[in-house]
Structure 1
């Protein structure tokens, strides 16, 4: 994998490789890259046994990520999320179903979800930013109002109807 200028690092307690394989199974144009393992160096600091997966490089749709098994010190929060821009309702349904599988159902609202590893995702229509920033403030207001009523995944037709004023 070619090293990009900025790479997202995801800190997992012990499931970095499992998570990377899960994500690459969902997104096309994805792959697993280098896997590094802990050695004996630093054990007194991190306490992770020699031979355990330390990092997994992986790509999703051209973006490089690193998953790190770093222990339980840090947890994911909704303060950071990945946005999946979708063209159709079928695409929204696909990514929502796959990413939310085994995740936290209590964190699902307005197209946001938390996956089984605690990572937050937004599964949204590609046109949503344009709808929300339309020069016609009434259109954008109706879209925002419809979006705020969404309890789980986004229904593209509902947003389009709000946008058009139907």
Structure 2
């Protein structure tokens, strides 16, 4: 349990919130009820997290607190790719609605490896084909390599618009040459 307190506020307009599930409070040097001015907010104030807010003209300070249950010492740091995979939009959404870290985590989950020299270039080795995938500005390119397993006479390249869904691109790319 912790307490945030201050007795050096110079402004008389203090807003104080206290939540029972958050072990914190804010106190001020004034004993009277604070004056709440709704003109400070241009949009509705949405309190989605546990928080305590102290408003002083002209600065707003927001203090977030975490419950003890959520921050156990025995938790191991999670894999960053796993976090981005959890943030993936629905598989039917166009690829342009995905963030770059989400796309990178998705490609890694499909077995692609990112080039160290060119961060937009990815490689995959499947049992019956090898391919090189490139994230271009407007399209995603995949080149199935004749040097890999299989009987390709030449490299086969396909282009997919980012307007296609992640599911459609995944099915087309993993379908092979």
Calculate the TM-score normalised by the size of structure 1: 0.32
- From the two aligned structures, give the one with the greater helix fraction: 1
Calculate the TM-score normalised by the size of structure 2: 0.31
- From the two aligned structures, give the one with the greater strand fraction: 1
Q: Could you say which structure has the larger radius of gyration?
A: 2
